[in-house]
Amino acid sequence: MRFFQNLSESFSREAPKYKTFSLPKHRVDVDYDEKPIFAGEAYCRIWLVEMRLAKDVEWFKQRYPVVHTAVRFNHGDKSVIIPYLAAPGQLEKSIADNLDKVIQCNYPLTSVFPFNDGLVELQAGLFSIANNDSIGKFIKTMGRFSELLPVPELSSVIKLAEPVYRGIEDLLDIGDRRLELGYQQTFSEANGGGSNSLKAGYFAAILAQDNKINNDNLCVVNDSLCLGSPGTTKTFERDGKPLEGYSYMLFRIEKRTAQDWESLNSIKELVDKAQEAVLDGRYEVVKTIFLPAIKAAIYHSPDVTKADRKQMVLKIEDFLRELGLQAATVQKRSLYSIMQRPLPPIDAATEAELASLEKLFQQKGQ
C-alpha cells in the first residue's frame, strides 16, 4: 500500500541518526516466554510501552508531539495495515511541563492477532508539528479514530483502518512537520535464519549515536528503559536509573497462547444458539445446521490461529455432545469456558473431516 511506502521513504530520507536495541531476557525484570514464534501457533500484540521527549524541542509551546505507528501483517487472506496516532492530548496528560522524564504510555498498537503466515512489519515515528489550532483539532480527531482499531476481534473494525491511515497521511502532508525519531523493523517466523524472529520481548529506538550508550547497561525495570549494572544477574533491578537526555521509544511484543474467545462474536453467537437447541431437544437441527455453521465460521475466521481451529471444533462438539447426554446436570457455558476444557480424543473419521476442511479453506485463500 502506498501509505506504508510513503512512511518508509520518509524515514529513509528524513530520520536522524538513531540506534536500535532488542533487550535480552536477562536484562528485563519480568519473566516471559522468549522462544521465537512459529506461524499458526500463537497470538501477538504490539505495544508502545514508553517514550521520552528530550528538551531540545519546545513541546506543546511551538510544536506538537505526534507518535505515529503502522503495523502490517497478514489477516486471513489479506495484508492489512493497522495505524495508530498518539495525539498531543493523550501525551500532554502524561507530560505536562514534566519534560525529559519517563512517559509511561502502554498504548496497544494492535489488537491480539493470530500470526498465521508471512511477515510482521512495524513503522513508528515521533513527529513534531508546528503549533496551530486547526492542526491541533485534526490531530485529536485522528487520534480518537485510531483508538477504535486495537480491539479484540479485529475483523469487526478492519474497514476503519483505511480511512484512518489515509487521514493520518493527510495530516503528515500538511503544515510544518518534522521527523524527530523514526524506526522500522520486519519480523519473520521462527527459524528464518536471521536475528529478526518474531518473539515476545522489549526493543527500543533511541535518538543517539551508537557509541554514546553502552548496550550492556540498558535494561527494563517496571516498563521503563534504564541504565543499570551490566551482566546476567538482576542487580539492575536495584540500581537501574532512567535513561535521560535522549528521545526514545520503547516497544514490546506480547505473545499469547489463546485468543480472547469472548470477543469472537460470530462464533460465540452460533455456539450459544447451538446450546439452546440442544436444551430444547432439537438435536437434528444442531447436527445438520449449527455444527456445520460453527465449523465454517471457525475455519473462515481470520482471528483464530491455524492450530486453534481444530481444537475449537473438537471442544465445542464434545461439549454439545455432553450437554445433550446430561442436560439435567450440565449447564450452558461461555465460549471461553468451553475452550478451557481438555482436548477430547479424536477418531480417524473426525481427523479426516477436519483435514479436508483445512484444505478447503486454504483453497479459498483462507
Read off the pLDDT of residues 230-262 as tens digits, 9 standing for 90 and up. Answer: 999 999 999 999 898 888 899 999 999 999 999
pLDDT at res. 100: 47
Please, which pLDDT band fits residue 96 given cuts at 50, 70 and 90?
Answer: very low
Cell of 24: 535480552
State how far the Cα of 144 lies from the Cα of 70, in Å rounded to an integer. Answer: 16
Residue 313 pLDDT > 90: yes
The partner residues of 48 in beta bridges, in order of sequence, read: 107, 251
Stronger pLDDT, 351 or 55, i.e. the higher one? 351
Categorize the per-residue pLDDT at 67 as very low, low, confident or very high, splitting at 50, 70 and 90: confident
pLDDT confidence of 102, banded at 50, 70, 90? very low
Q: What is the mean pLDDT of residues 51-64?
A: 70
Predicted confidence at residue 229, as pLDDT, reads 95
- The verdict on pTM exceeding 0.75 is yes
Question: Among all chains, which residue has been given the C-alpha cell 482499531?
Answer: 149
With 60 as the cut, is the pLDDT of residue 89 above it?
no
Predicted confidence at residue 202, as pLDDT, reads 97
Assigned C-alpha cell, 361: 479453506
| Residue pLDDT, tens place only, 126-159 | 887 776 666 666 666 666 666 666 666 676 667 7
Cα-Cα-Cα-Cα torsion 203, 204, 208, 209, nearest 10 degrees, comes to 20
Q: How many angstroms separate the CA atoms of 78 and 96, rounded? A: 41
Among the listed ranges 180-184, 328-332, 348-352, which one has the minimum average pLDDT value? 328-332
Cα separation of 107 and 180, whole Å? 19
pLDDT at 360 over 80: no
Model confidence at 8, pLDDT cuts 50, 70, 90, reads low
Q: pLDDT band at 174, cuts 50/70/90?
A: low
What's residue 255's pLDDT? 96
